[in-house]
Amino acid sequence: MADAKKKILVADDNPAILDALRIMLEEEGYEVETTVNGATVQDMKQPLPDLLLLDIWMSGIDGRDVCKLLKGAAATKHIPIIMISATKDIAQIAKDSGADDCISKPFQMEHLLAIVAKYVNKH
Amino acid sequence: MVFVLVQHLDPTQKSLLPETLARATSLPVIEATDGATVKSNYIYTMPSESYITIEGSVLHLTSRKKRSGSRNPVDSFFQSLAKHHGKDAIGIVLSGTGSDGTVGIQAIKDNGGRTFAQDASAQFNNMPKSAIDSGSIDFILPADGIAPALIQINREATGGTTKSKPEASNIGTILTLLKTESGIDFLQYKQTSVNRRIQRRMSLNHIGSVEDYAEFLKQNPIEVERLRKDMLIHVTSFFREPDQFETLKKLVFPAMLKNRSSKAPINVWVPGCATGEEAYSLAIAFQESLGKKASLRPTIRILGTDIAKHAITEAGEGVYKEDITEHVSPIRIRKFFTKVKAGYKVKKSIRDMCEFKVADVSQKPPRLHNELISCRNTLIYLGEELQQKALLMLLSALEPEGVLLLGKSEGLGGSTKLFFPLDSSQRIYYKKTLSPETADLRKAFNSKAYMDITPLVSQKTTTKPDESGRTPRQKKITKLKEAVALTQDYTNEIISELDMVNEKLQSANEELASNSEELQTNNEEMSTLSAELQTRNEDVTIALDYADAIIRTVRGPLLVLNKDLRIISANEAFYNAFKVAANDTENRLLYDLGNRQWNIPKLKTLLEKILPKSNTLTDYEVVHDFKDIGQKTMLLNARTLQQGPNKTSLILLGIEDITERKQNEQQKDEFISIASHELKTPITSVKAYTQILGQRFRKAGDTRSSELVEKMDSQLDKLTDLIGDLLDITMIEAGRIRFHESYFDFNKLVEETVEELQRTTEKHRIVTELQPSRTVYGDCDRLGQVLTNFMTNAIKYSPHADKIIVSTVVDKDNVTLSVQDFGMGLSQKDQAKVFERFYRVGGSNQNTYPGLGLGLYIAAEIIKRHKGRVWVTSKKAKGSTFCFSFPMTKQRK
């Protein structure tokens, strides 16, 4: 049987970004689910994604807290989390929250795809 | 105690006694008026045209013209005093001629009063002696012993127990201090003059007692210096007593100049020359005498000396005020002076004749073999013993037949025998020598006591001897000899009497002369003082008004507190800003103001802990919720200052309400942050779409379209950069910019950045000249940002060049990086400002290059945070080199 497509969950409060990312990732061969709602991320339902792209500033919810939560729960701690933010200084914040890596907006497509590829296979 | 002074005065002359005495005492001195009631601790003097008596507490005056009979004013007063005051009367007989006072003193004694007489130190002994001989004197004392005795009597009378040292020993202390400071023993000077000067300085310093003044001097060395200078004040002027100069020119100079070779100089000494007028006057007189005989002119060397150093310095300058025209004729001014800003300066021809040194006239002379010594109005200040000593010094410094010139009121005193008067009324004397060769001049002035009796004895008489074995002739001779001897004795006696009287008159004369000199000085000083006081008063008023105006107009609230934090004053702005009233504020403790709204812990720390240590506090921020006005952020500036003579401590507290400012800042920060984020969001999706499109075009082989899309992408990157700069600026300003430091390879960073930027320009070639690689400690990303900025600028501002050079220099501690371009360069003005925020350099034709003007500012801030520095060197049209350097190792904060 061929490998199933990897599933990526993208969380960002901007619909346009979600749309662009969906196109980008689907064209690369991933299965993409998007949400603007932080709560959805927190209460992740099965099947769990293979990678989470998480925006730090989301309305109503702090991306860092979500990350910490997920990384702290047995069920979800294996999921690689890439944090996205508008500022350059996020590397430390990301690390502090337990994220695996981070990327800043606006990003280069190549760079994003490379990072996703790197982490999505690590299970 | 009431003091009445009765003197023998010339009834036709108004007495100056009150003014003269006033300077010697702090007690008020007034001239008695008929019917005046006496007051305690006042001194009353007798008017010259009246007799004075006392009845109870009232003084009576009777005209001297009308009164016949007794001409003894002292007796007259003593008797009335004895009659009305009995045991309380104190009679003091001081120096005077005649026997006035003896009868009166007996009356006082008879009525139970106390009596004093001056001892042998009195200048004119007759009056005291007569009183003493009458047996009615209780105490025989010198003048400065009488005063303490009176104090003692007063103390017994009032039962007081003030312990004060006798005046004499206080003066002694003062003179010792002076001697230590200057080396001059003022005890040798005329004590009346010394005392007067001391009294003067006392009154200038508002000190009432000599004891207190002695203490004051001990604590204030500057006052000792002032006192010393005061003691040595001499009044002098050009051509003082002009007739003496004329006599010199007529009688003395011709003799000096006759029969001498032009090689030998004439030495002239002017001791006590003060500020030099005397010496220069003599120089001018000599010049006038020598006149046109230039070639035959001998050298004249005038040496001016004085014990006062400051006077000698002035003499050396040779500059005098305009008012010397009062003493110097216009012809002399024209011939011998040059007009200068401060007045007149002596010409070189005169100045070169004179030399000035500090010297004491009573010590070994600074130069011997003088042919002329002019020492006028110097000796009068010395005590008798010192005067004689000085005269002997002068004598020793004179050549045989040398001339001594003294002041009009001076005399030779005991040294009369050592000089021949040439013109005694002009005080010109010749040195007497012991050599038998007498000059023609001198014969005429030989001692009067010597009489030539040889003619008498040579008369022929009979030679027959008589019973006693002597001839009548021999008898006659013996008789004649006796008669002559008697006459001689008698004459000698008269002469010595006359001499004595002369001396005494001389002393009195000297006294008067020094008095009048001092009066002159005092007058001048009084008017200067009063002018100064006036100015100072005005200054003080102006200063106060000024300070007041400042405080009132200062827009910010201002408080003045004393060191207990009680409010001394507050300004209008304070009342308005904090809604308190003046009467609620002044004199209250700061913490109690307006419902204790100022009882702020942080403020307390400020005022009680920080301020006492460092005296000033700058820009201290305090946030507080005020009951009436809400929450405010305040910027405090405080300073302690000392005010007034007692150095009272004050605290000046300036309060600036920066609440609004802070709010604005906060809003601004928030806005920019949000704006950056909001701007980046659409760009993110647009860029993503653009890149997706690009990929699709490439996959489809549509290179033209994919190129277009790449250009779009590139512009989006530029936009992102601009936004990035904006964000950086905000963070820098707010101090929120964070650095992530680590160890990294600097050269690697440079090479990577160069590679990246090379991709952006085809025209330029970026060349690197890097010294060997080093590991440095810093924020790699941020330093990369600086490099990018420098290189981007280099490319941007050299559109017509083709090369950019990037080089590094590594020394022991720092690494320096330079980026050189060959473009338009920067003017001096631009160089100075190029690192400033928002500064954009203009191109030609009013063009400006694109950008926000933030890049270099941010670069500078980043380097600054790395404890490094940035700079630029440039030449217009040739190019610029932008450099930064920073320490390679981790810097301790």
> Which pLDDT tens digit goes with each residue over B860-881?
999 998 999 999 999 888 899 9
Q: Is the pLDDT of residue B167 over 80?
A: no
Which residues lie closer than 8 Å to B372 by C-beta, 6 or more apart? B248, B252, B256, B266, B267, B268, B269, B282, B402, B403, B405
Residue of B nearest to A25 (CA): B692
Interchain CB distance below 8 Å, A106 and B727: no
3-state secondary structure of B41: coil
Count residue pairs from A and B with Cβ separation < 8 A.
Answer: 58
Exposed, middle or buried: residue B497 (CB in 10 Å: 0-12, 13-18, 19+)? exposed
Q: Dig out the tokens for A97 from the structure.
A: 């929250």
Per-residue pLDDT of B175-226, as tens digits, reads 888 888 888 888 888 887 788 788 888 888 888 888 888 888 888 888 988 8
Q: Compare CB distances from B685 to A14, A92, A108 and report the shortest one's residue.
A: A14
Could you tell me which residue, B893 or B379, shows the higher pLDDT?
B379
Could you tell me which residue, B436 or B651, shows the higher pLDDT?
B651
Q: Dig out the tokens for B62 from the structure.
A: 């009777």
Q: Is the pLDDT of residue B859 over 50?
A: yes
What pLDDT, on a 0 to 100 scale, did the predictor assign at position B436?
A: 43
What pLDDT, on a 0 to 100 scale, did the predictor assign at position B849?
A: 64
Residue of B nearest to A14 (CA): B681
Per-residue pLDDT of B295-315, as tens digits, reads 556 788 999 999 988 899 999
Neighboring chain B residues of A92 at a CB cutoff of 8 Å: 740
What pLDDT, on a 0 to 100 scale, did the predictor assign at position B443?
A: 44
Q: Is the pLDDT of residue B700 over 90?
A: yes
What pLDDT, on a 0 to 100 scale, did the predictor assign at position B373?
A: 94
Q: Compare CB distances from B692 to A23, A57, A106 and report the shortest one's residue.
A: A23
What pLDDT, on a 0 to 100 scale, did the predictor assign at position B21?
A: 81
Q: Is residue A44 within 8 Å of residue A78, measured between CB atoms?
A: no
Tokens 């005590």 -> residue: B383
Q: What is the pTM of this model?
A: 0.39
Neighboring chain B residues of A108 at a CB cutoff of 8 Å: 691
In angstroms, the separation between the Cα of residue A111 and the nearest Cα of chain B is: 11
What pLDDT, on a 0 to 100 scale, did the predictor assign at position B761?
A: 84
Interchain CB distance below 8 Å, A106 and B688: yes
What pLDDT, on a 0 to 100 scale, did the predictor assign at position B629?
A: 77
Residue of A nearest to B694 (CA): A109
Q: Dig out the tokens for B322 from the structure.
A: 């305009």
Q: pLDDT category, B461, cuts 50, 70, 90?
A: very low
Interchain CB distance below 8 Å, B689 and A20: yes
In angstroms, the separation between the Cα of residue B681 and the nearest Cα of chain A is: 7
- Quick one: which of B887, B844, B841, B840 has its CA closest to B867? B887
CB proximity A106 to B under 8 Å: yes
Interchain CB distance below 8 Å, B687 and A89: no
Lowest mean pLDDT of B136-145, B230-239, B757-766, name the range. Answer: B230-239
Per-residue pLDDT of A1-56, as tens digits, reads 456 788 999 999 899 999 999 999 999 999 999 998 888 888 887 888 999 999 88
Q: Compare CB distances from A92 to B689, B727, B740 and report the shortest one's residue.
A: B740
Q: Is the pLDDT of residue B469 over 50?
A: yes
Per-residue pLDDT of A99-117, as tens digits, reads 999 898 899 999 999 999 9
What pLDDT, on a 0 to 100 scale, did the predictor assign at position B821?
A: 93
Residue of A nearest to B719 (CA): A106
Q: pLDDT category, B470, cuts 50, 70, 90?
A: low
**Alpha carbons B628 and B583: distance in angstroms, whole number:** 18
What pLDDT, on a 0 to 100 scale, did the predictor assign at position B542?
A: 62
Interchain CB distance below 8 Å, B692 and A89: no
CB proximity A24 to B under 8 Å: yes
CB proximity A87 to B under 8 Å: yes
In angstroms, the separation between the Cα of residue A13 and the nearest Cα of chain B is: 10
What pLDDT, on a 0 to 100 scale, did the predictor assign at position B345?
A: 94
Neighboring chain B residues of A87 at a CB cutoff of 8 Å: 727
Q: Compare CB distances from A106 to B687, B738, B781 and report the shortest one's residue.
A: B687
Interchain CB distance below 8 Å, A16 and B781: no
| pLDDT, chain B, mean | 82
In angstroms, the separation between the Cα of residue B696 and the nearest Cα of chain A is: 10
Q: Is residue B142 within 8 Å of residue B192, measured between CB atoms?
A: no
Please report which helix (H) or strand (E) contains residue B652, including its range: strand B648-657
Q: What is the mean pLDDT of residues B600-610?
A: 75
Interchain CB distance below 8 Å, B691 and A86: no
Indicate which of B684, B695, B717, B756 best probes the interface with A, i.e. most A CBs within 10 Å of its own CB: B684
Strand partners, B63: B50
**Alpha carbons A104 and B621: distance in angstroms, whole number:** 36
What pLDDT, on a 0 to 100 scale, did the predictor assign at position B412?
A: 78
Cis bond upstream, residue B400 (ω within 30):
no
Q: Compare CB distances from A105 to B684, B695, B740 and report the shortest one's residue.
A: B684
